[in-house]
Structure 1
Amino acid sequence: MRARRAGWLAEQFPDLAEMSVIDLGGRVSSWAGAPVRPKHVHVVNLERESGDVPSWAEVDHGDACDLPEAIRGRRYDLVYSNSVIEHVGGHERRLRLAEAVHALADSHWVQTPYRYFPIEPHWVAPGMQFLPAAARTTMAHRWPLVHSRADDRAGALESVLWVELLDRTQMRYYFPDSTLRAERFAGLTKSLIAVRAA
């Protein structure tokens, strides 16, 4: 799926190799292995990047919903954000992320897992996103397919509360001038991508 998504990105932005891209919430390692790498990638993430930063990249520790002025005042060819908007913490912060996306470049690519895909993607659990928080917490703590299991119930609840999957209406609200592309698996929409090409 990631390889296909990378292909779509390169098709949508045929000049990607010559572009300046800001990646909100991403990692340099994701771009290092990409089939087409932009000329310059500026990664902004709340989690600190470990290891050396290649010459084609720039890394800042920061909040994509509250960017420092030094970043807000810059312009890029493309804003890219992959599976981040569902983790930022509520409607107000999603609005602020969307505002940053619109302000930093005329073009963007913002992907998020689709709320109504039957498998919750973070825990690979059927229907988990539709359960009450207490039941989701129990699943997050005990479900065998989880990527990284919390040590205790409090940690599981913390993980659960930081995930709010979005639907089409929400994505259209945050990105009204974008094309909304559906990424499908077995005929069902698995994720949504808001795309705008200048």
Structure 2
Amino acid sequence: MIPKIVKTVSPNFRAKRDELFRRLYGDLIAHGCTILDIGGEPYYWEKSLGSHAEFYRSCKITLLNPKQQQANLPNIICVAGDATDMREFADQSFDLVLSNAVIEHVGDFEQQRKMANNVQRVGRYYFLHSANYYFPIEPHSFFPFFNQLPLFMQYGIARVWPGQTHIPDFSPKSLEYIRTKVRLLKWREVKELFPRAKIEKEKLWGLNKSFIVHNAP
């Protein structure tokens, strides 16, 4: 029951996050700016540009993903690349860097540090979201306290429990997938990665569900 509730309310959090993004960076966007969305989907932006066309029409948007994607709008460019190694982008080459729940998927803490450093290097401003390690419902498996369980228990749960962390077998590949697919951040780690950022907490049931990291003026 509780995992279903979390899954149901998740889109509402995304909508509120989008509203906060437009409120914080509205002036910058309205005057036309360059946006890098790490992990951004063409469908999401085509939908946003449909419902907020006037707001974003002057922006040039670059989507960075591990695999090449295709967009159907002229002001969206899709690039294949690595969030932890953005050598193709010069310092301060974007007005705004955006990323929704990507930093938890890039690897261990050192890989997360590389992504954070690149975000702060290539963008004047940034707006990132990451789920909280200590929130009782893990947002990919939707299993209570999944993060805090020993690995052997995570493997067993992932084998029988539906969700993004489900595995078809106990092969070495599947076990490595569970071990490395998701690494959620703790508050102190977010502070370490983004020492000059403002960190806002998304709350559910009075608990910190996730963090929004930004450096809006």
Match of 1:170, SS?
A: helix
**Residues in 2 aligned to 1:98 and 1:134: alpha-carbon distance in whole angstroms:** 30
Which structure 2 segments of 5+ residues have no match?
A: 1-12
Match of 1:23 among 37, 43, 47: 37
Q: Displacement, 1:28?
A: 1.8
TM-score (normalizing by structure 1): 0.90
**Residues in 1 aligned to 2:75 and 2:63: alpha-carbon distance in whole angstroms:** 11
Answer with 1 or 2: which has the greater Rg.
2
Write the deviation string for residues 123-145 of structure 1: whole angstroms up to 9, x where unpaired. Answer: 1110001011111121122113x
**Residues in 1 aligned to 2:205 and 2:143: alpha-carbon distance in whole angstroms:** 16
**Residues in 2 aligned to 1:32 and 1:151: alpha-carbon distance in whole angstroms:** 34
| 1:15-54 equivalent positions in 2, closer than 5 A | 15=27, 16-17=29-30, 18-34=32-48, 35-36=51-52, 38=56, 39-49=59-69, 51-54=70-73
Q: Displacement, 1:52?
A: 4.0
Q: Displacement, 1:151?
A: 2.3
Runs of 4+ aligned structure 1 residues displaced above 3 Å come to 35-38
Match of 2:166 among 149, 161, 166: 149
**Residues in 2 aligned to 1:13 and 1:80: alpha-carbon distance in whole angstroms:** 11
**Residues in 2 aligned to 1:167 and 1:191: alpha-carbon distance in whole angstroms:** 9
State the percentage of identical aligned residues.
29
Match of 1:90 among 98, 108, 128: 108
Query: What letter is aligned with 1:149?
Result: H
Which structure 1 segments of 5+ residues have no match?
A: none
RMSD: 1.8
| 1:59-78 equivalent positions in 2, closer than 5 A | 59-69=78-88, 71-73=89-91, 75-78=93-96
TM-score (normalizing by structure 2): 0.83
Question: Paired residue for 2:209?
Answer: 190
